[in-house]
Amino acid sequence: MEAQVSKSSKPLIAPGIFLGIGFSGFFDGIALHQILQWHHMLSNVRPLFTVADIDLNMVWDGLFHVFDLAMTVTGVILLWRAGKRDDVIWASNTFFGSILVGAGLFDVVEGIIDHQILGIHHVKPGPNQLAWDLGFLAFGALLIIIGRVIQKRDEQKTVN
Protein backbone atom coordinates (compact mmCIF):
# COMPACT_ATOMS: atom_id res chain seq x y z
CA MET A 1 0.00 0.00 0.00
CA GLU A 2 1.45 3.35 -1.07
CA ALA A 3 1.13 6.44 1.14
CA GLN A 4 -0.77 9.26 -0.53
CA VAL A 5 1.22 12.49 -0.82
CA SER A 6 -0.64 15.68 0.07
CA LYS A 7 -0.36 18.20 -2.76
CA SER A 8 -0.23 21.93 -2.22
CA SER A 9 0.42 25.16 -4.07
CA LYS A 10 1.98 26.78 -0.96
CA PRO A 11 5.58 26.14 -2.16
CA LEU A 12 4.85 28.69 -4.93
CA ILE A 13 4.20 31.51 -2.46
CA ALA A 14 7.81 32.28 -1.40
CA PRO A 15 9.18 32.24 -4.97
CA GLY A 16 6.37 34.56 -6.05
CA ILE A 17 7.00 36.97 -3.20
CA PHE A 18 10.75 37.12 -3.87
CA LEU A 19 10.15 37.61 -7.60
CA GLY A 20 7.58 40.34 -6.85
CA ILE A 21 10.04 42.17 -4.61
CA GLY A 22 12.74 41.94 -7.28
CA PHE A 23 10.44 42.98 -10.14
CA SER A 24 9.03 45.94 -8.19
CA GLY A 25 12.52 47.07 -7.21
CA PHE A 26 13.69 46.87 -10.80
CA PHE A 27 10.63 48.82 -11.96
CA ASP A 28 11.28 51.48 -9.31
CA GLY A 29 14.96 51.77 -10.20
CA ILE A 30 14.48 51.73 -13.95
CA ALA A 31 11.37 53.91 -14.18
CA LEU A 32 11.76 56.35 -11.27
CA HIS A 33 15.57 56.52 -10.92
CA GLN A 34 16.76 56.21 -14.50
CA ILE A 35 14.04 57.08 -17.02
CA LEU A 36 11.99 59.71 -15.16
CA GLN A 37 14.92 60.70 -12.89
CA TRP A 38 12.52 61.72 -10.14
CA HIS A 39 14.90 60.57 -7.45
CA HIS A 40 17.96 58.49 -6.70
CA MET A 41 18.74 56.45 -3.58
CA LEU A 42 20.29 59.31 -1.61
CA SER A 43 18.96 62.31 -3.54
CA ASN A 44 17.29 63.86 -0.48
CA VAL A 45 20.51 63.55 1.55
CA ARG A 46 23.00 64.28 -1.23
CA PRO A 47 21.22 66.22 -4.01
CA LEU A 48 22.76 66.03 -7.48
CA PHE A 49 24.59 69.37 -7.34
CA THR A 50 28.16 68.12 -7.73
CA VAL A 51 29.85 65.35 -9.69
CA ALA A 52 30.76 63.68 -6.36
CA ASP A 53 27.08 63.65 -5.31
CA ILE A 54 26.01 62.29 -8.71
CA ASP A 55 28.66 59.55 -8.42
CA LEU A 56 27.59 58.65 -4.88
CA ASN A 57 23.92 58.41 -5.90
CA MET A 58 24.88 56.31 -8.94
CA VAL A 59 26.76 53.85 -6.70
CA TRP A 60 23.81 53.58 -4.29
CA ASP A 61 21.38 53.12 -7.20
CA GLY A 62 23.66 50.29 -8.36
CA LEU A 63 23.62 48.70 -4.89
CA PHE A 64 19.84 48.99 -4.97
CA HIS A 65 19.84 47.03 -8.24
CA VAL A 66 22.12 44.41 -6.69
CA PHE A 67 19.43 43.93 -4.02
CA ASP A 68 16.75 43.66 -6.73
CA LEU A 69 18.83 41.09 -8.58
CA ALA A 70 19.42 39.07 -5.40
CA MET A 71 15.67 38.97 -4.71
CA THR A 72 14.93 37.93 -8.30
CA VAL A 73 17.58 35.21 -8.34
CA THR A 74 16.34 33.91 -4.98
CA GLY A 75 12.82 33.73 -6.42
CA VAL A 76 14.03 31.82 -9.47
CA ILE A 77 15.97 29.35 -7.32
CA LEU A 78 12.97 28.76 -5.05
CA LEU A 79 10.72 28.31 -8.07
CA TRP A 80 13.20 25.85 -9.60
CA ARG A 81 13.22 23.85 -6.37
CA ALA A 82 9.42 23.82 -6.24
CA GLY A 83 9.41 22.61 -9.85
CA LYS A 84 11.32 19.50 -8.86
CA ARG A 85 8.81 18.51 -6.20
CA ASP A 86 6.05 16.00 -6.90
CA ASP A 87 3.81 17.41 -4.18
CA VAL A 88 3.48 20.90 -5.73
CA ILE A 89 0.26 21.90 -7.45
CA TRP A 90 1.11 24.42 -10.17
CA ALA A 91 -1.55 26.97 -9.38
CA SER A 92 -1.33 30.19 -11.40
CA ASN A 93 -3.44 32.24 -9.00
CA THR A 94 -1.23 31.30 -6.05
CA PHE A 95 1.95 32.11 -7.94
CA PHE A 96 0.87 35.33 -9.68
CA GLY A 97 -1.00 36.53 -6.60
CA SER A 98 2.22 36.02 -4.64
CA ILE A 99 4.15 38.11 -7.16
CA LEU A 100 1.68 40.96 -6.58
CA VAL A 101 1.96 40.53 -2.80
CA GLY A 102 5.77 40.71 -3.09
CA ALA A 103 5.62 43.79 -5.30
CA GLY A 104 3.27 45.46 -2.86
CA LEU A 105 5.47 44.52 0.10
CA PHE A 106 8.43 46.10 -1.65
CA ASP A 107 6.52 49.37 -2.15
CA VAL A 108 5.19 49.47 1.41
CA VAL A 109 8.47 48.57 3.14
CA GLU A 110 10.64 50.73 0.89
CA GLY A 111 8.14 53.58 1.15
CA ILE A 112 8.03 53.48 4.93
CA ILE A 113 11.77 53.02 5.47
CA ASP A 114 13.35 55.16 2.72
CA HIS A 115 10.68 57.82 2.24
CA GLN A 116 9.31 58.26 5.76
CA ILE A 117 11.72 56.96 8.42
CA LEU A 118 15.13 57.64 6.84
CA GLY A 119 13.98 60.36 4.43
CA ILE A 120 16.82 59.50 2.01
CA HIS A 121 14.59 60.20 -0.98
CA HIS A 122 10.96 60.79 -1.92
CA VAL A 123 9.02 59.43 -4.88
CA LYS A 124 8.84 62.86 -6.51
CA PRO A 125 10.47 65.60 -4.44
CA GLY A 126 9.08 69.10 -4.36
CA PRO A 127 5.53 70.31 -4.10
CA ASN A 128 3.14 67.50 -3.20
CA GLN A 129 5.99 65.11 -2.29
CA LEU A 130 3.97 63.75 0.66
CA ALA A 131 1.06 63.00 -1.70
CA TRP A 132 3.42 61.12 -4.05
CA ASP A 133 4.89 59.18 -1.11
CA LEU A 134 1.45 58.31 0.27
CA GLY A 135 0.26 57.31 -3.21
CA PHE A 136 3.26 54.98 -3.48
CA LEU A 137 2.32 53.39 -0.14
CA ALA A 138 -1.35 53.13 -1.14
CA PHE A 139 -0.41 51.50 -4.44
CA GLY A 140 1.73 48.98 -2.56
CA ALA A 141 -1.13 48.20 -0.17
CA LEU A 142 -3.50 47.81 -3.14
CA LEU A 143 -1.11 45.33 -4.81
CA ILE A 144 -1.01 43.28 -1.59
CA ILE A 145 -4.81 43.22 -1.38
CA ILE A 146 -5.25 42.30 -5.05
CA GLY A 147 -2.56 39.63 -4.74
CA ARG A 148 -4.28 38.07 -1.71
CA VAL A 149 -7.65 38.10 -3.49
CA ILE A 150 -6.09 36.29 -6.44
CA GLN A 151 -4.34 33.79 -4.15
CA LYS A 152 -7.64 33.05 -2.38
CA ARG A 153 -9.11 31.77 -5.65
CA ASP A 154 -6.74 28.79 -5.52
CA GLU A 155 -7.23 28.36 -1.77
CA GLN A 156 -11.00 28.10 -2.28
CA LYS A 157 -10.53 25.53 -5.08
CA THR A 158 -8.52 23.25 -2.79
CA VAL A 159 -11.07 23.53 0.05
CA ASN A 160 -14.09 22.79 -2.15
Task: Per residue of the chain (160 residues), give pLDDT as tens.
Answer: 555 668 999 999 999 999 999 999 999 999 999 999 999 999 999 999 999 999 999 999 999 999 999 999 999 999 999 999 999 999 999 999 999 999 999 999 999 999 999 999 999 999 999 999 999 999 999 999 999 999 999 877 655 5
Give yes or no for a contact between 121 and 36, defined as CB atoms under 8 angstroms apart.
no
Name the burial class of residue 6, with classes exposed (0-12), middle (13-18) and buried (19+) by CB atoms within 10 angstroms of its CB.
exposed
For the full predicted model, state whether its pTM sits above 0.85: yes
Instruction: For residues 18 and 45, give the distance between their C-alpha atoms in angstroms, rounded to a whole number.
Output: 29
25-42: buried (b, 16+ CB within 10 Å) or exposed (e) per residue? bbebbeebbeeeebbbbb
Instruction: For residues 50 and 26, give the distance between their C-alpha atoms in angstroms, rounded to a whole number.
Output: 26
